[in-house]
Amino acid sequence: MPAARPPEKATTLDALRRAAASCTGCDLYKRATQTVFGEGPPRASIMLVGEQPGNEEDLAGRPFVGPAGRLLDKALVQAGLDRRQIYVTNIVKPFKWKATEGGKPRIHEKPSRGEVEACRPWFDKELWLVQPKVLVCLGATAAAAIFGPAVRVGTARGRALSSPQGIRTFVTVHPSAILRMRGDAERAAGMRRFVADLRRAGSAARRGR
Ligand code: SF4
């Protein structure tokens, strides 16, 4: 599969964002409204990386502004973290979706491994430019992109890992997984654990590792 080719002369996030807006590195751009690039301070100490934008993100052109993003915002507040100080992005930049019958909302469709690999040069360059002290993988797709397909969120979670780039990295669930939990008790427990994971990442960033 062809892949994204970030221009070498794009040495700022703004330049990278502009270049990604017209990327045709794989077929995903054809059905998405726009490329949803990461956002946040250019030298943020924490970077959060998810899988791909959803329906609302696709329309707004911003990452994590839909239901999962609103849950993430609440969890960050509970963890004592300020989203405005955090760089938030996705491994895959456009929304991959499938249609539903009866004009219902577009449904998220998981990107293939080939699509993740095609798109990840944008993320790699974001990571290189931001150089966060701490990286947090939100969910299995992001974790697999960093650590390979054998990684499991359940076993990697709760530990401080080192990414291949040498960045202190934590793996946790994607906030959409908490939204899908059934029952208030399960969802509350899921949220507590998610907040604890984010708090651990915040502590590591404050310590500088
Ligand atoms: S998914 Fe990534 S590589 Fe494919 S067209 Fe979109 S930005 Fe380019």
- For residue 194, the model assigns a pLDDT of 98
> What residues have CB less than 8 Å from 139, skipping those under 6 apart?
50, 51, 153, 172, 173, 174, 176, 177
Mean per-residue pLDDT for 171-199? 97
**107, pLDDT greater than 90:** no
Average pLDDT score, the chain: 94
Q: Whose CA is nearest to atom 4 of ligand 1?
A: 26
The three-state DSSP-derived secondary structure of 140-194 is: HHHHHHHHCCCCCHHHHCCCCEECCCCCEEEEECCHHHHHHCCCHHHHHHHHHHH
- For residue 86, the model assigns a pLDDT of 98
Separation between Cα atoms, residue 38 and residue 47, nearest integer Å:
10
- For residue 7, the model assigns a pLDDT of 86
89 and 126 Cβ atoms separated by less than 8 Å:
yes
**103, pLDDT greater than 90:** no
Determine whether the shortest distance from the Cβ of 6 to ligand 1 is under 6 A: no
Residues 6-28: pLDDT tens digits?
888 889 999 999 999 999 998 99
- For residue 126, the model assigns a pLDDT of 97
Determine whether the shortest distance from the Cβ of 28 to ligand 1 is under 6 A: yes
Determine whether the shortest distance from the Cβ of 29 to ligand 1 is under 6 A: yes
Closest ligand 1 atom to the C-alpha of 111? 1
- For residue 8, the model assigns a pLDDT of 84
**In a mutational test of the pocket of ligand 1, which residue from 18, 36, 58, 93 has the highest number of ligand atoms less than 8 Å from its CB?**
93
- For residue 209, the model assigns a pLDDT of 62
- For residue 104, the model assigns a pLDDT of 67
Distance from the CA of 151 to the center of ligand 1, in angstroms? Answer: 24
Q: By C-alpha distance, which of 148, 131, 117, 103 is closest to 26?
A: 117
Q: Whose CA is nearest to atom 2 of ligand 1?
A: 119
Residues 54-87: pLDDT tens digits?
999 999 999 999 999 999 999 999 999 999 999 9
